[in-house]
Amino acid sequence: MKKHNFNAGPSVLPRVAIENSAKAVLDLNGIGLSLLEISHRSKDFQAILDEAMALFKELLDIPAGYQVIFLGGGASMQFCMIPYNFLNKKAGYLETGVWAEKAIKEAKFFGEVDIVASSKDKNFSYVPKGYTIPADIDYFHITTNNTIYGSEIRCDIDSPVPLIADMSSDILSRPVDISKYSLIYGGAQKNLGPAGVTFIIIKDGILGKTDRKIPSMLNYATHLKEPSLYNTPPVFAIYTCLETLRWIKGLGGIKTIESMNIKKANLLYDTIDNSKMFVGTVEKESRSIMNICFVMKDQYKEKEDAFMEFSKTKGILGIKGHRSVGGFRASTYNALPIESVQALVDAMNEFEKNNL
């Protein structure tokens, strides 16, 4: 039976990226060595790194004056690296979910944090609007996609101060005006590659604004001086990212991916909105096209477990909602084919028909 992988992360990857990575584990490009055993200082890995960086810049149309590096530690490591490097007196954060809360918690170790706006009052079911970004903060931090609650900022906001964004779960899903950001970061395990590598897009000239001494591994300047190679990088994960980037380019690039993603999201949201049994949990204007959250209406709540088991019989995996929301979450990342969304929609319709 075909499996439909809706896991929130680590998540679905392009099949060609998995297959080519598997081949490279056995023998990288016919050199007689596994990808897992080559030196990160070798010309073979340097070629992988150079192509991955170049493709990343090309696909996202990253302008001159920005650098791309790959690090370990996940996005969670960036929660402390960012204030370590940029927070001098006060920073501003948009509080839109669990990951934003975690970033805020880390920033408070380094200085004052101004929560500029929050959607916590309604269990993070919307993206705040109408707020004013203070001009006296060192930077403004946003989390563009809320994986747990299913909201997304699908525009590039104007900020009077350096704008920093966690794009872990929606990078490469839509065109981004990189010039509006000072730093963009994220874990790879949604749209880019396997867990174990973190991407950083950083604008030239924004470092050195704080007086504190920063440990070498937590200092962005360290990793920019020796691009992604100060210490041993996650070689395998970077290679799989390269294969994914090649796949995206082969499809036609980011605009093509965005069109595919919107089509998938619309198919599922239309089904939810027209259902007598299921209902969405996020305000429509704030809905994510990456993580689609929904529950059963109150009178059918007791049937949620039954639907979960029914969906498994259709090969549908990973749709259990986060414990803080309940219900269901379908992660429709780049590599998820529309056929999988159709399988979920068909299962929802069949279950509803038989259980009303």
Residues 6+ apart with CB under 8 A from 171: 60, 184, 186, 190, 191, 192, 199
Q: DSSP secondary-structure letter at 144?
A: S
Alpha-carbon gap, residue 292 to 99, rounded angstroms: 17
Alpha-carbon gap, residue 162 to 175, rounded angstroms: 20
Axis-axis angle for helices 235-251, 43-59 (nearest 10): 40
Q: In DSSP terms, which residues pair with 95 in a beta bridge?
A: 118
Alpha-carbon gap, residue 275 to 143, rounded angstroms: 30
CA atoms within 13 A on the CB side of 138: 20
Alpha-carbon gap, residue 154 to 228, rounded angstroms: 29
Strands 145-146 and 151-152: antiparallel
State the residue for tokens 């780049």. 334
Sign, CA torsion 107/113/116/122 = positive
Residue 30 tokens read as 């016919």
Catalytic residues: 99, 166, 190
CB 128 within 8 A of CB 118: yes
Cα–Cα separations (whole angstroms), residue 171 to 26, 60, 196, 265, 283: 30, 9, 16, 16, 22
Q: For the chain, what is the radius of gyration of the CA atoms?
A: 21
